[in-house]
A and B are shown apart, each in its own frame.
Chain A
Amino acid sequence: MLELNNQYTRLKRRVHAMVLKSFFNGTLEEDIDKIPFWIIPKDTCPSRCCIYKERAMVRYRIMAFMGINIEIDDDELKPLSEYYKEVMQNVIPAAPVITTIGTACSSCPHDQYLISDACRGCIARPCYANCPKDAIYFEKGKAHINQELCIRCGKCMDVCPFHSVVHIPVPCEAACPVGAIKKDENGIVNIDYKKCISCGKCTRSCPFGAIVERSSLFTTLKYLQGDDKVVAMIAPAIDGQFPGTLAQIKQSLLLAGFDEVVEVSEGAAVTATNEAKEIVERLENGEPYMTTSCCPSYMELVNRHLPFLKEKRSDSLSPMGYIAEMVKKREPNAKTVFIGPCLAKRLEGIRLKTVDGVINFSELAALFMAKDIDVREVEATDMGDTKEFEDCREFALTEGVAGCVVHRLQEGQEIKPMFINGLDAKTFRGMKIWPKRAPAADLVEVMICEGGCINGPGTIVSPKLALKLRGGNMSAPAKAFKK
């Protein structure tokens, strides 16, 4: 996967902040068609072929930001202001959460091994000797690969003493753990939504930004403008994503227009308690193992690829499910908006009647930027009594969920946990054989993102830094946070 912050993500955030700034000024309808020109003015040095294509790409990013399904609803003759009017009038369907920009796709050639100019045409010829398919031939004293015979095993790359063999992957295909990305006849990216588990790894992998999230932020913006109370439910991973403490982030949300802020960790405590009860019961009934159920991308994985795990996963709701229930019970008319690092959470949000909207940290960052909210300067607010669920903020980290479950076992009870820390094609293959060879553990914690939710597709800060900043612990970059 690409680094979290690169030219593309920065451009995306600028576009988002600019759109929101106009939105809050009340001028978006007249500004929206000008924004591509503001972002890419005429003296810009383009990264693509020309500034006109760059502007067209900005236009698509704005469309995705408004939640338009570009694959289906792209009409080049329609001004963005028309799209905007429709978005404000209609309810935007939230699924699928990903869409592709065909014209942004570079139609990368199939993944292949090539022999570069570094080949010295040595006489030992280990590449030739080790190729199981006799795909290597020599021309003018240098090695070449017959692509029709090559099975991409990579043995030649391993043995070349001059490192002259290069592997050129297709980033999106390589990132997808379940093989949902294929190319169409023109080599343009094509997602098989029946297979897609909405993990979002591809959105973070394409260096051309051709696979994008269909944001549902505008649904939330409409709530913020409406009369109903809007409750922000902040995921445990939010701590460490902004330059301030959790209490400052809460206050920033209130300033941004939310009426109340609750921590999803409170729901996580219920999940952990229920799962602790459930695992003991299941083991007593002779079941070999149970898996956690809070990662929504894992839920999709089970539904679409590993149906045998349906009875093995916990019946507990996710932390979002419980917290939304609590809020709705207290205030049935309030709009509940989950703010997290996750793409797949949107699908869970559609399924749960108690959740009205789901946005991610990146979108929240744009919201803060547009409203000039400086998290670090904001006065910290009272977090309330968090003693009961504080430890569940660890749900955002790998081993954190299982840790909280173990912590909630009765005395004398013991379980052996196991961790699936991030899903790739190999781990996926390993899970497929579980019916024959059950995992050697009682509780299997599954997180599709490596490292946990703090490495989700909607995050802003690298997991390494987020870990340092979490818990209001500013001590790590001590000087960095001196006022």
Chain B
Amino acid sequence: MKKKDKILVKICVGTSCFVQGGADLLLYNDFLNPELLDKFEFEGCSCLDACKRVDNATGDETRAPFVMVNGKLHGNMNPEKLNKLLTDELK
């Protein structure tokens, strides 16, 4: 698969996401299903401002840490959820 065909996964490494578990996501090489690794391209990105927009929101999905997959924002991420999210994304 050529690089440009890969789906872009942005992992937010703004302080707020990073310290609330986003850091763990940077070890994606260790926890993701190996098959997913060549279908996606990963990069750390600056604060997506998602945490500020939803400051007083209460839903679990609207909390740090955030990732953006193919332009869509997903909150309250953890390694297991990211695995599932990316698997679903390929379906």
Contacts and interface: CB of A to CB of B under 8 A. Distances in A.
Interface of A: 4-5, 10, 13-14, 17, 38, 41, 43-44, 242-243, 362, 365, 368-369, 372-377, 460-462, 464-465, 468, 477, 479-483
B26 A374 contact: no
A45 to B, nearest CB: 9
Given A376-B47, A460-B23, 18 more contacts: A5-B23, A10-B63, A17-B16, A242-B18, A243-B18, A243-B23, A362-B19, A369-B16, A369-B19, A373-B15, A374-B15, A376-B15, A462-B27, A465-B27, A477-B44, A479-B43, A480-B11, A480-B44
8 contacts: A17-B16, A365-B19, A465-B26, A477-B28, A477-B44, A479-B42, A480-B11, A480-B42
A243 B44 contact: yes
B45 to A, nearest CB: 8
Interface string B1-42: 000000000010111101111011011111000000000011
A374 B47 contact: yes
B32 to A, nearest CB: 13
**Central interface residue in A362, A369, A376, A480, by most chain B CB within 10 Å:** A480
Contact of A243 (B13, B21, B30, B56): B13
B73 to A, nearest CB: 18
A463 to B, nearest CB: 11
B56 A375 contact: no
B21 A369 contact: no
B41 A464 contact: no
B84 to A, nearest CB: 18
A464 B27 CA distance: 9
B46 interface: yes
A151 B81 CA distance: 41
B44 A13 contact: no
Contacts of B30: 464
Contacts of A13: 19-20
B58 A43 contact: yes
A242 to B, nearest CB: 7
Given A376-B46, A477-B26, A10 B15 contact: no
Contacts of B63: 10, 14
B interface, over-half SS: mixed
B44 to A, nearest CB: 4
Contacts, number: 86
Given A376-B46, A480-B43, A481-B44, A462 B19 contact: no
Contacts of A461: 23
B10 to A, nearest CB: 10
Nearest to A375: B15
A481 B19 CA distance: 16
Contact of B23 (A14, A369, A462, A482): A462
B44 A10 contact: no
A365 B58 contact: no
A465 B23 contact: yes
Nearest to A368: B15
**Central interface residue in A13, A38, A43, by most chain B CB within 10 Å:** A13
A360 to B, nearest CB: 12
A369 B15 contact: yes
Contacts of B58: 41, 43-44
A38 B47 CA distance: 24
Contacts of B41: 479
**Central interface residue in B16, B58, B78, by most chain A CB within 10 Å:** B16
**Central interface residue in A362, A373, A477, by most chain B CB within 10 Å:** A477
Contacts of A372: 52
Contacts of B28: 477, 480
**Central interface residue in A10, A38, A43, A375, by most chain B CB within 10 Å:** A10
A119 B46 CA distance: 53
Given A462-B24, A480-B11, A374 B19 contact: no
Contacts of B47: 374, 376-377
Nearest to B14: A374
Contacts of A483: 46
Contact of B56 (A5, A38, A362): A38
Contacts of B18: 242-243, 375-376, 460
A340 to B, nearest CB: 16
Nearest to B18: A243
A482 B13 CA distance: 11
B63 to A, nearest CB: 8
Minimum-distance CB pairs A-B, first 9 = A5-B21, A365-B19, A480-B44, A243-B13, A243-B18, A461-B23, A477-B26, A368-B15, A479-B43
**Central interface residue in A243, A369, A375, A464, by most chain B CB within 10 Å:** A243
A477 B28 CA distance: 9
A373 B23 CA distance: 17
A17 B63 CA distance: 13
Given A41-B58, A477-B26, A480-B13, A460 B19 contact: yes
A483 B44 CA distance: 7
Contacts of B52: 372
Contacts of A460: 18-19, 23
